[in-house]
Amino acid sequence: MGNLDVTAYLHRLGCAAEPPSADALRRLHSAHIERVPYEALEIALERVTPLAPEASVARFLRGRGGYCYHLNGAFSALLRALGYQVTRHLSGVQSSAGDAPNLNRSHLGLTVTGLPDDPETTWFADVGLGDGLYEPVPLRYGEFSQGPHTYRLRASDVVPGGWRFDHDPAGSFAGMDFAPGAAEMPDFAERHHWLSTSPESGFVRVCVVQSLDSRGVDTLRALTLTRSGDVEKKQVLESPEDWWAALADVFGIPADAFTGEERERLWRLVLGQHEAHLAGAAGSEVVPSA
């Protein structure tokens, strides 16, 4: 199983090791979605994280999460260690309907094949889309619903032989295209560095944390905490104590995962982003997606 701490990773997910199957894949996927949040707080702290799945898992074990390269990279490594046949794919997220669909490697997509109980089905799995999939689905054309969202899978218009995932109109991004061939972690290094450092990157411009469950989505954008799906709630967290309490209570990210200096830096950052939003700064309403 290489350097991946499979036992600790499974414990983080609250799952037991079991032979590959469609039901086991669903259990692992939904547990990952619920327990490992979508977040880029390292980017907010101006740090470029390593892409190695082992490094991502080590961060997960400290109560942290990651964005697509970390989440899908580590999850695919876990599945491979458990005996699944997993393919990583070059992908691109279309942030809004006004943007062009693309394959700019801003996302790492996954498919799973060869399950013993269903060897003919290819499964689309993705734990790195923020408010995207809750459970894996068969990779076939058509609409499907999970929780509050309805999605669609179809042929990509920008990638020959590729696939297109259309998000629900209420979701945080428009859609995602992915190529049919296989990719590995180094293929995403250049784009990961850009997303982590460029002033034009959504992850640099606004601090966002998301968590999905079977009923709805929790999103923290700078100081604004929202719940959508089963209920619709929105509140502004007006103190650092409230902000860190929300990170812990809603997203499972403990304050002690950061030093005191890091906590102060993050609070100053999100406070500044919130004030810029109130002043009408362009783009502060966009949830960045990998």
pLDDT tens for residues 9-62? 999 999 999 999 999 999 999 999 999 999 999 999 999 999 999 999 999 999
pLDDT at 3: 86
What Cα–Cα distance (Å) separates residue 109 from each residue in 18, 44, 75, 174, 220? 24, 24, 11, 16, 24
122-138 residues labelled b (16+ CB within 10 A) or e (exposed): bbbbbbbbbbbbbbbbe
Provide the 10 A C-beta neighbour count for residue 268: 11
Residues annotated as catalytic (active site), given as ranges = 68, 107, 126
- Reported pTM: 0.94
Q: Which residue has the tokens 């983080």?
A: 12
Query: In terms of C-beta density within 10 A (0-12 exposed, 13-18 middle, 19 or more buried), how is residue 110 classed?
Result: buried
Q: Give ranges for CATH 3.30.2140.20 in the chain.
A: 6-189
pLDDT tens for 90-148 read: 999 999 999 999 999 999 999 999 999 999 999 999 999 999 999 999 999 999 999 89
SS3 assignment, position 125? strand
Residue 256: DSSP 8-state: G
Q: Give ranges for CATH 3.30.2140.10 in the chain.
A: 201-278
pLDDT at 286: 43
CATH topology of domain 6-189: Arylamine N-acetyltransferase fold (3.30.2140)
Nearest 5°: phi and psi at 119?
-70, -15
What mean pLDDT do residues 248-273 have? 97
Superfamily of domain 201-278: Arylamine N-acetyltransferase (3.30.2140.10)
